[in-house]
């Protein structure tokens, strides 16, 4: 008999998805799938628009990471313009990007993941959420709110607005940073760094107390992809592509982002609107790879700021590569600390207040690629234009898309561990959600629907009959 259970409060993912768990004849888990069942179509309805409109259209893909889409789009348009943007404009764009890294990573850790870590995976769903965290541990919740606020205010001071700023444009940026705005950001840095260190200590304490579960939580071998500097250091705004395998061995390095199609391909499945990117030479699905904080720290040689690099060395104390999905949280906080340190460096640069911020933006090339490391991972915007600069074709590969195969692998691992005797438990559902939250997915970005974001888990036997359904209904 099919049984439906509605569980509240809201799930802590962005978008609309469901999970199906398939049993074999013995009643054991044979397969599990993470289905993304919404569709938006940004790549298609951008066709016919002038390329200069793209930095304002594509950020509407999502209200959570508009800065990332804005910057990737602007970089793709720069390539169409065919001219290097002024150095001060690049500094200001990267500074805005650091604000996005700070606020997004703070949101992910304190608001979306901390309720599981601090209140317990098996806690009552009525209290296992950010409101419950505020009630039980208000000091921790307040630190998270203040840290995210700092990142949001940085974005506003640099770009003019916290969400959907029109600051980066093809050829540079359209406003300068004033000395007063610079000083206001600098004034908030010490407290923000203190809150980031606090979060790192909190998470490291959790790892130490729950070592066995942490190491086994959605742990599997995969390849990894991220941007790096010429010497292999972590890079979030610019840089070249680097791929490494499950042991940390680099097999593609210093790949110009514009050449991504020489190394990546995309597959589709009938049960999901989200595409499945894979490494071309390894084929599908063997070419699975991961992006985002975990991947970036696995592929980089070092971090180019002192505090974050020291944390990276601690993170690598047990080996060069971390495979457990749980390590996304730790890596995310190391990157948050890097974002704060890098913001300080940018603010101290002599060109940060320069007025040389824009070059003419007439189209010179028929296509352009913009790549950036969004908080969730590598973000690719690729535009093809006609002779008048109007979009003929657009391709967006977002971080959640890159991670699609890996998230499905994580769901399989958790389902096989926790689904027993043809019976679903609420704690099992939350652990499946938690392995997805490790990747901090943005499903609206990845599928290019607006509205509700229920999580539905189906238990299916070997001949396709639905035995039980668990569902969480929620609205952003």
End-to-end CA distance of the chain: 32
pLDDT (0 to 100) of residue 128: 81
pLDDT (0 to 100) of residue 456: 61
The token duo for 203 is 């998470």
pLDDT (0 to 100) of residue 426: 64
Note the Cα 64 to chain centre separation in Å.
10
Q: What count of residues does the chain have? A: 476
pLDDT (0 to 100) of residue 127: 83
* Selection from 147, 71, 159 nearest residue 374 by Cα: 71
pLDDT (0 to 100) of residue 7: 28
Q: What parts of the chain have a pLDDT lower than 70? A: 1-22, 25-30, 32-40, 63, 271, 273, 419-429, 443-464, 470-476
pLDDT (0 to 100) of residue 159: 96
Is the alpha carbon torsion for 70, 184, 102, 240 positive or negative?
Answer: positive
Pairing of strands 391-397, 29-36: unpaired
Strands (E), 182-324: 223-228, 240-244, 250-255, 264-267, 276-279, 289-290
> Cis peptide before 185, with omega less than 30 degrees from 0?
no
Alpha-carbon dihedral angle through residues 74, 77, 83, 84, given to the nearest 10 degrees = 20
pLDDT (0 to 100) of residue 425: 63
Which residue is it, tokens 């890098």? 342
> Other C-beta atoms within 10 Å of 234: how many?
27
Q: Quote the CA–CA distance of 332 and 102 in Å, as a whole number.
A: 10
Q: Using an 8 Å Cβ cutoff, are 2 and 471 in contact?
A: no
Pairing of strands 466-472, 4-6: parallel
Q: Using an 8 Å Cβ cutoff, are 296 and 331 in contact?
A: yes
Pairing of strands 17-23, 455-460: parallel
Q: Residues near 404 by Cβ (< 8 Å), separated by ≥ 6?
A: 34, 36, 272, 274, 275, 276, 277, 446
* Selection from 409, 401, 388, 304 nearest residue 346 by Cα: 304
Residue 238 per-residue DSSP state: S
> Cis peptide before 282, with omega less than 30 degrees from 0?
no
The token duo for 112 is 């979306």
Give me the phi and psi of 238, to 5 degrees please: -125, -160
Please give the model's pTM, rounded to 2 decimal places.
Answer: 0.87
Strands (E), 386-460: 391-397, 455-460
pLDDT (0 to 100) of residue 476: 30
């Amino acid at each position: 008999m099919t049984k439906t259970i509605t569980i509240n409060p809201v799930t802590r993912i962005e978008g609309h998805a469901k999970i199906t768990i398939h049993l074999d004849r013995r009643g054991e888990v044979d397969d599990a799938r993470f289905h993304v069942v919404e569709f938006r179509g940004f790549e298609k309805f951008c066709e016919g628009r002038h390329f200069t409109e793209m930095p304002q259209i594509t950020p509407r893909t999502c209200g959570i990471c508009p800065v990332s889409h804005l910057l990737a789009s602007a970089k793709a348009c720069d390539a169409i313009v065919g001219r290097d943007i002024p150095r001060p404009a690049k500094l200001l764009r990267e500074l805005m990007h650091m604000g996005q890294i700070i606020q997004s990573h703070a949101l992910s850790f304190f608001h979306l993941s901390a309720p599981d870590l601090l209140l317990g995976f098996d806690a009552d769903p009525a209290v296992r959420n950010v409101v419950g965290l505020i009630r039980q541990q208000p000091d921790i919740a307040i630190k998270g709110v203040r840290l995210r606020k700092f990142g949001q205010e940085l974005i506003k001071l640099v770009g003019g607005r916290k969400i959907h700023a029109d600051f980066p444009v093809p050829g540079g940026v359209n406003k300068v940073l004033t000395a007063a705005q610079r000083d206001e950001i600098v004034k908030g840095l010490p407290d923000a760094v203190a809150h980031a260190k606090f979060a790192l200590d909190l998470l490291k304490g959790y790892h130490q107390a729950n070592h066995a579960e942490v190491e086994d939580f959605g742990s599997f071998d995969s390849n990894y992809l991220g941007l790096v500097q010429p010497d292999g250091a972590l890079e979030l705004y610019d840089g070249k592509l680097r791929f490494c395998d499950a042991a940390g061995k680099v097999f593609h390095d210093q790949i110009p982002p514009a050449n991504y199609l020489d190394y990546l391909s995309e597959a589709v499945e009938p049960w999901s609107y989200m595409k499945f990117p894979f490494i071309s030479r390894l084929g599908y699905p063997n070419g699975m790879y991961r992006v985002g904080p975990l991947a970036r720290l696995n592929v980089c040689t070092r971090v180019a700021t002192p505090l974050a690099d020291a944390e990276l060395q601690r993170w690598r104390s047990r080996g060069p590569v971390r495979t457990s999905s749980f390590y996304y949280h730790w890596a995310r906080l190391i990157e948050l600390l890097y974002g704060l340190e890098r913001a300080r460096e940018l603010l101290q640069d002599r060109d940060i207040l320069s007025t040389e911020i824009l070059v003419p933006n007439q189209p010179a090339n028929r296509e352009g690629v913009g790549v950036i490391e969004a908080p969730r991972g590598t973000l690719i915007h690729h535009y093809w234009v006609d002779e008048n600069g109007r979009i003929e074709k657009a391709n967006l590969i977002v971080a959640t898309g890159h991670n699609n195969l890996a998230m499905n692998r994580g769901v399989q691992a958790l389902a096989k561990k926790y689904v027993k005797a043809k019976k679903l438990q609420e704690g099992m559902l939350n652990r499946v959600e938690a392995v997805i939250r490790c990747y901090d997915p943005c499903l609206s970005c990845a599928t290019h629907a607006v509205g509700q974001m229920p999580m539905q888990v189906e238990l299916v036997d070997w001949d396709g009959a639905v035995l039980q359904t668990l569902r969480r209904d929620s609205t952003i």
